[in-house]
Structure 1
Amino acid sequence: MRGLVTFREATATDLPVVENLLIAADLSLAGVQPHFPDFVLAVQGNEVLGVAGLERYGPHGLLRSVAVRADQQGRGLGQALTREMIERATAAGLETLALLTTTAAAFFPKLGFTPVTRDKLPAALQASSQLQGGCPASAVVLHLALPQGGLS
């Protein structure tokens, strides 16, 4: 990557770019709009290189929509976005973070997530469109307990 990559909150004007990234990554658009204030972009200058989103349900969060532009993949940006979202979820006082994936089951355990069955997820997460069919039943479910009181 050339230049500094920074993270910033997504704004309403970013929605078309984010939707295009998600479509290119074959990720669901279901539920994106109502949770868009909790989406974060990886940017270089004015270019959006990647995205990650968070859905909040009480003290639990669902990490979703982690996508990196095809020409930027393999450079650690997906890991950096995921770490950024873990830090933000922890700072927001969330207790757990879960995710569903059909393509990256080997990626997220490197960042501390462990596989679980859907019935082990907090009941509050069942409100997510991702768990109501936005993500197929074949998706792998991963879970992460977040440190309480912030990162040390």
Structure 2
Amino acid sequence: MRRRRRGRWITRRPLTFREAMAADLPALDTLLIVAELSPEGVETHLADFVLAIQGNEVVGMAGLERYGPHGLLRSVAVRADHQGRGIGHALTRLMVERATASRLETLTLLTTTAADFFLKLDFHPVTRDVLPAALRASPQLQGGCPASATVMHLPLRQR
């Protein structure tokens, strides 16, 4: 795609999505630190992380942790210079599709800054005590995310 900026043409490279690999860990850690999200557990669940790539650069990411029939959506992050382009929305929808295809029953997330964003994607706030025990025992819910974080939930069965 080409567009004109300040009298010259620039080419915007297409956005692609792919699964994360071990070689991506440094870029993921950097993106998470800049977004003020915890990199803890990313390497353990790396097989369930998806990256948004533009050119040769990681511009966004999202991950899934599985706990029996329940999933924890985590680390949805988009580089600041790429925000507002629908990348976070696309990553979240892709993770919901993957969770549904994997026959997970629910998808839960924790957020300190993006509750309004996830409300638009059909997630609803819940209290921690209504979550399944397996999710409550996850590292993210056991302190990886602050107690002040909003817990949001999406049932997947009827999708």
Band of TM-score, shorter chain: over 0.9
Shift of 1:127: 2.8
Deviations 1:106-147 (A, max 9, x none): 110100100000011111112321101010000000000014
TM-score by length of structure 1 reads 0.94
Quick check: which has more Rg, 1 or 2?
Answer: 2
Give the partner amino acid of 1:60: H
2:144 to 134, 137, 140: 134
1:36 to 36, 42, 46: 46
Shift of 1:32: 1.4
Aligned residue pairs, count: 149
Identity across the alignment (%): 73
Structure 2 spans left out of the alignment, 5+ residues = 2-11
Separation (CA, whole Å) in 1 of partners of 2:44 and 2:54: 26
Shift of 1:6: 1.4
TM-score by length of structure 2 reads 0.90
Deviations 1:17-76 (A, max 9, x none): 001000000001122111111100011232111000100001100000000011000111
- By percentage of residues, which structure has more strand? 2
Contact 2:128 2:136 in 1 (8 A): no
Separation (CA, whole Å) in 1 of partners of 2:14 and 2:116: 28
Does residue 97 in structure 1 map to residue 107 in structure 2? yes
Does residue 5 in structure 1 map to residue 12 in structure 2? no
Does residue 122 in structure 1 map to residue 132 in structure 2? yes
- By percentage of residues, which structure has more helix? 1
Does residue 61 in structure 1 map to residue 71 in structure 2? yes
Query: Secondary structure of the residue that 2:43 maps to in structure 1?
Result: helix
Separation (CA, whole Å) in 1 of partners of 2:138 and 2:155: 19
Separation (CA, whole Å) in 1 of partners of 2:97 and 2:120: 16
Contact 1:31 1:128 in 2 (8 A): no
Separation (CA, whole Å) in 1 of partners of 2:19 and 2:146: 28
